[in-house]
Structure 1
Amino acid sequence: MDSDRLRVEFMDTVYEAASRDDVDYYVDLATTVEGPVLELGCGTGRIYLELLEASVDADGIDLSADSLAALREKAEQRGLEPSVWQANMAEFIVDKEYALVTCPFNAVQELTTIEQQQALFESVYDALAPGGKFVFDTFVPNFAYITDMWGEWQQRTIEFRNEPVEFHTCSRIVDEVTQEYVSEKKAITQDGEELFSFQGRATLLPYRELELLARSSPFESWKVTGDYTDESLTNEHSAQVWTLIRT
C-alpha cells in the first residue's frame, strides 16, 4: 500500500478515536430538511456514512481520490450505497437542487485565497434550492494556545493495525499578515519506519473575515452559533458554526 493510502487509513483511525460533537449535529440537521443533502469535503465518510445510515438522501464530494476510495470500501462493508465523486469544492457544479449543503470539520479553512472562498459561496448558492441552507464550521482561533503550543512538535501514540505508532504533529504560522498556517503530520512505527509525512496549508478565518465573506456573497441572511449548539457564538466556544440561507 502506498504512503497516500496509508495516510488516509491512519488519519481515519485518528479521527474516529477523537470525541467530536459534529457528527450528531450534522446528522440531526440533515434529517430535518426536506430534500437532498450535499456534503463538501466528505473525506472517508466520517459524517457522510452516518447520513446514509440515517436514510438521508446524501451526495458527497472530495478532492482526494484515496479518501473517496476508502469511503466506498467502508460503505460496501456496511451495506450502504454512496453517491460521491471527486471535485473541488471551490468550483463544483451539480445537476440538482439541494435543501442543505454542509462543509464540516474546518474544511473551509483550506481555501486560502479570497477568490477560492468567494467561489465556494457562489457554487454553494447555485447548488441550493430556494430556502436551502449552507452550514459549515471553523475553529475559533485560540491565540493563547497558538502562542504556547504552535511551532513545537506534539507527539502521541495511536494504535494502528494492532501496533503502536507514534503520531507527530506541528502547526505553525507561516504568514502573519494573511494569518495562514501550515499543519505538518507524520507517523513513525516503533521500529523507526516513517509510514507517511505530509503538510497542509490553511487560514485561521476569524469571525469578522467570515462575516465579510457572507456579506459579499449572494446569500441573503445568515446566523452564527457556537460548538454545534443553538447558542450564540461567544468567547467560550471553540467552534463557530455558520448557517447561510438562500431565500
Structure 2
Amino acid sequence: MDSENYEYREFLASAWDLLRGDTSDWSDRPFYRNIILHSGQPALDIGCGTGRLLLDYLADGIDIDGVDNSPEMLAICREKAQKRGLHPTLFHQSMEALAVPRRYRTIIVPSSSFQLVTDPNAATQAVSSFFHHLEPGGVLVMPFMILWQGPVTDQIVTGEWELIAEQVRPEDGVLIRRWTRSTYHLPQQLEDTEDRYEVVREGKIIASELYTRSPATRWYTQEQAIHLYDEAGFTNIRIVSEFSQVPASQEDTIFSILAARP
C-alpha cells in the first residue's frame, strides 16, 4: 500500500486519544458488540485506530482482529494493548486492498471510517473486499454520516474555524487544542478538511501544526450507500437510525447499514 496516503499521522495520531476523551458511554459501543455476539465470531474491526473498541472487546473475550492504514495509530494500539496484557492481531492495510488470511462472521467499520475512502472506484473495491472476507452468512455493518445538511447547490462552501477539543496533556501539563475548518464540494459530496493543533503553555502558543486534506471525506445518501452494498452482492440489507435497531428515516443524518453475505 502507499504508506504516505493516510490521514492519521504525527500529531493527529499522538493527540487522538487525549482529545477524544472518554468514549465509554458512546452508543456505538454496545451496538457493535451486540451485532458481533448475534452474528458471530471471529470479527474484524476495520479502521480500528488506537483500539477504542477492539481492545475492550478483546478484553471481554471476543475473537476480533484489527485493520488500519495508519502505522502510527496501530503502534499506539499495540502499546495500549501491551499495558493491558492483550495480544491483538493487527494488520496495516487499506480498506480497498484488504487481504488478510482469515474469514469473519462479522465485519465492523466504525466511526464512519469508510467515508475516508473518497475515490468511488476505491470505495466500490473496498466493499467488495469486505464481502469476500466474510464467511457465508457473515454480516457487514457500517455507519454513515451526512456531512452537509444545508441546501444542495453547485457551490463550494467553506465554514469557519471551530475549536472542537482542548485537553491538558498529563505528561507535561501543556494544553493541546484542535481547531478545524471544512470546505464542502456540494455536487461531488466531498469535504476538504483543515486541522490546526496548538500547544499552549501558560497562555502562550509554543507550537502549532496545520494538516490539510483534499478531499478528506465523501458523504452518501441512504440510497447511494445501499447501492454500494447491493452492487457488492450483499443481501438482507437493513438500514437503522444511528446506532439503534430503529429503522432509519430520511431525516437521519447518521445511519448504519447491516447486510449479509449469502
Q: TM-score, normalised by structure 2?
A: 0.85
Alpha carbon RMSD of aligned pairs, Å? 2.3
Partners of 1:82 and 1:219 in 2: how far apart? 28
Structure 1, unmatched stretches of 5+, are none
Residue type of the alignment partner of 1:178? Q
Please state whether the residue corresponding to 1:79 is helix, strand or coil. Answer: coil
Aligned equivalent of 1:155: 163
The structure 2 residue matched to 1:131, chosen from 108, 130, 137, is 137
Aligned equivalent of 2:237: 222
The structure 1 residue matched to 2:192, chosen from 182, 193, 203, is 182
Residue type of the alignment partner of 1:95? P
**Structure 2 matches for 1:108-147, cutoff 5 A?**
108-141=114-147, 143-144=149-150
Stretch deviating more after TM superposition (160-169 or 178-187): 160-169
Partners of 2:128 and 2:56 in 1: how far apart? 27
Please state whether the residue corresponding to 1:177 is helix, strand or coil. Answer: coil
Distance 1:244 1:157, change over 3 A: closer
More helix per residue: 1
Please state whether the residue corresponding to 2:102 is helix, strand or coil. Answer: coil
Please state whether the residue corresponding to 1:223 is helix, strand or coil. Answer: strand
The structure 1 residue matched to 2:13, chosen from 8, 24, 29, is 8
The structure 2 residue matched to 1:198, chosen from 186, 211, 217, is 211
Residue type of the alignment partner of 1:194? A
Contact map agreement 1:27 1:50 (CA 8 A) in 2? no
Aligned equivalent of 2:112: 106
Deviation at 1:150, TM superposition (A): 5.5
Deviation at 1:238, TM superposition (A): 3.6
Contact map agreement 2:39 2:139 (CA 8 A) in 1? no
Contact map agreement 1:137 1:241 (CA 8 A) in 2? yes
Distance 1:209 1:234, change over 3 A: same
Q: Aligned pair count?
A: 243
Partners of 1:145 and 1:227 in 2: how far apart? 22
Aligned equivalent of 1:86: 92
Contact map agreement 2:9 2:70 (CA 8 A) in 1? no
Contact map agreement 1:27 1:54 (CA 8 A) in 2? no
Please state whether the residue corresponding to 1:185 is helix, strand or coil. Answer: strand
Q: TM-score, normalised by structure 1?
A: 0.90
Note the alpha carbon deviations across 1:66-122, whole angstroms, 9 max, x for none: 000000000111111111010011111122210001101011111112211110111
Distance 1:165 1:95, change over 3 A: closer
Answering whether residue 178 of structure 2 is matched by residue 167 of structure 1, we say yes
Partners of 2:108 and 2:164 in 1: how far apart? 31
Identity, in percent, stands at 22
Partners of 1:113 and 1:34 in 2: how far apart? 31
Note the alpha carbon deviations across 1:184-226, whole angstroms, 9 max, x for none: 2121122323353223411111212112222222212311001
